[in-house]
């Protein structure tokens, strides 16, 4: 089953989700790019930062979710189009190609890198960021519950995000001829509100799982999931701390 995205739910933690995008794109040193593309751009709010930085550029937000593209279409300064990043082709060589928090949704995405890098103009920049937190309780608890009866039979083959370490992207992009830097950062997000880690994961990584469950089973799954997440991420007097490791790589194609 294809899952759907909710721009509103995703944007609830817009501040926290925006931070890695800023850290990623700060390392792109393009001066005057003509064609800028954001692949898996989501609601387009972060893509708009690229348009603000390079006001002369044509800035394109590409996403496969109709809900996200509809939302990005309302953002000034960018053009939003529906497209699958596994197949999408640019109409001209790309000067800056960004893909932030999207490649983890594409199984086998290392195989896509040659095609993405081939889109770059000489001197063009490629910048990617993926989560590196798949062993954290926020994912481990979901996996464990999903493997149990009575849920397992409904959740086989359901989409789930996955990614590699920084060294893997560094090597893969270097082998494609880019000058690359790669790094990782663990953010300590301090979240507030009821069950904030559940709210976070149900906007992203756990979304396909929750949507694939029948109505009769979803409430029970959610109840146990929420309780286990509360135990794993206890409330402090300042809120709930969600450690979130992210992996970054930025490369430049030589002129
Ligand atoms: C976690 S959101 C990230 C959105 C945005 N880049 C950001 O940083 O806020 C992941 C986005 O990737 C998109 N996506 C997932 N698989 C895709 C694919 N194969 N082609 C295009 N977009 C895809 C989803 O629709 C979703 O909008």
List the domains of the chain with CATH numbers.
7-252 (3.40.50.150)
Question: What mean pLDDT do residues 159-176 have?
Answer: 96
Look at residue 194 in the predicted model and tell me its pLDDT.
94
Mean pLDDT of the chain: 96
Look at residue 160 in the predicted model and tell me its pLDDT.
87
Q: Is the pLDDT of residue 230 over 90?
A: yes
Q: Is 160 in the pocket of ligand 1 (CB under 6 A)?
A: no
pLDDT in tens, 182-221: 999 999 999 999 999 999 999 988 999 999 999 999 999 9
Half-sphere exposure of 85 (CA within 13 A, CB side): 31
Residue 244 CB partners (closer than 8 Å, separation 6+): 16, 131, 133, 136, 186, 187, 188, 189
Share of the chain above pLDDT 90, in %: 93
Question: What mean pLDDT do residues 115-126 have?
Answer: 98
Question: What mean pLDDT do residues 148-173 have?
Answer: 95
The residue whose CB lies within 8 Å of the most ligand 1 atoms, and thus the one to mutate among 9, 59, 63, 83, is 63
Task: Using pLDDT thresholds of 50, 70 and 90, give the confidence band for residue 241.
Answer: very high
Q: Is the pLDDT of residue 54 over 90?
A: yes
Contact of 146 with 155, CB cutoff 8 Å: yes
Look at residue 240 in the predicted model and tell me its pLDDT.
98
Atom of ligand 1 minimally distant from the CA of 17: 9
Task: Using pLDDT thresholds of 50, 70 and 90, give the confidence band for residue 11.
Answer: confident
pLDDT in tens, 61-92: 999 999 999 999 999 999 999 999 999 999 99
Strands (E), the chain: 35-39, 58-63, 79-82, 94-100, 120-131, 179-191, 235-236, 239-252
Q: Is 120 in the pocket of ligand 1 (CB under 6 A)?
A: no
Task: Using pLDDT thresholds of 50, 70 and 90, give the confidence band for residue 51.
Answer: very high
Look at residue 159 in the predicted model and tell me its pLDDT.
87
Structure-token pair, residue 249: 């790589």
Q: Is the pLDDT of residue 8 over 90?
A: no
Task: Using pLDDT thresholds of 50, 70 and 90, give the confidence band for residue 1.
Answer: low
The residue whose CB lies within 8 Å of the most ligand 1 atoms, and thus the one to mutate among 102, 115, 244, is 102
Q: Is the pLDDT of residue 47 over 80?
A: yes
Which residue reads 């790669």 in tokens?
A: 182
pLDDT in tens, 16-41: 999 999 999 999 999 999 999 999 99
Question: What mean pLDDT do residues 117-138 have?
Answer: 97
Residue 80 CA, ligand 1 centroid: distance in Å: 13
Q: Is 68 in the pocket of ligand 1 (CB under 6 A)?
A: yes
Task: Using pLDDT thresholds of 50, 70 and 90, give the confidence band for residue 108.
Answer: very high
Task: Using pLDDT thresholds of 50, 70 and 90, give the confidence band for residue 97.
Answer: very high
Share of the chain above pLDDT 70, in %: 99
Distance (Å, rounded) from C-alpha 177 to C-alpha 114? Answer: 10
Residue 39 CA, ligand 1 centroid: distance in Å: 7
Q: Is the pLDDT of residue 53 over 90?
A: yes
Q: Is 102 in the pocket of ligand 1 (CB under 6 A)?
A: yes
């Amino acid at each position: 089953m294809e899952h759907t995205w909710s721009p509103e739910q995703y944007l609830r933690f817009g501040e926290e989700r925006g931070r890695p995008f800023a850290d990623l794109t700060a390392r792109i040193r393009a001066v005057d790019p003509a064609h800028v593309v954001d692949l898996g751009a989501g609601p387009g709010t972060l893509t708009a930062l690229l348009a603000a930085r390079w006001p002369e550029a044509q800035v394109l937000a590409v996403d496969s979710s109709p809900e996200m593209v509809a939302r990005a279409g309302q953002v000034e300064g960018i053009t939003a189009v529906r497209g699958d990043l596994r197949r999408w082709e640019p109409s001209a060589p790309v000067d800056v190609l960004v893909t932030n928090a999207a490649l983890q949704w594409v199984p086998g995405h290392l195989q896509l890198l040659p095609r993405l890098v081939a889109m770059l103009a000489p001197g063009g920049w490629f910048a990617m960021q993926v989560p590196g937190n798949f062993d954290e309780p926020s994912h481990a608890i979901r996996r464990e519950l999903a493997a149990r009866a009575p849920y397992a039979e409904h959740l086989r083959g359901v989409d789930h995000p996955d990614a590699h370490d920084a060294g893997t992207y560094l090597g893969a992009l270097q082998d494609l001829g880019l000058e690359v830097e790669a790094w990782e950062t663990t953010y300590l997000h301090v979240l507030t509100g009821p069950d904030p880690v559940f709210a976070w994961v149900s906007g992203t990584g756990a979304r396909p799982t929750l949507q694939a469950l029948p109505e009769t089973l979803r409430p029970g799954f959610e109840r146990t999931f929420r309780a286990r997440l509360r135990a794993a991420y206890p409330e402090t007097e300042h809120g709930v701390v969600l450690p979130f490791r992210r992996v970054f790589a930025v490369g430049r194609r030589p002129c």
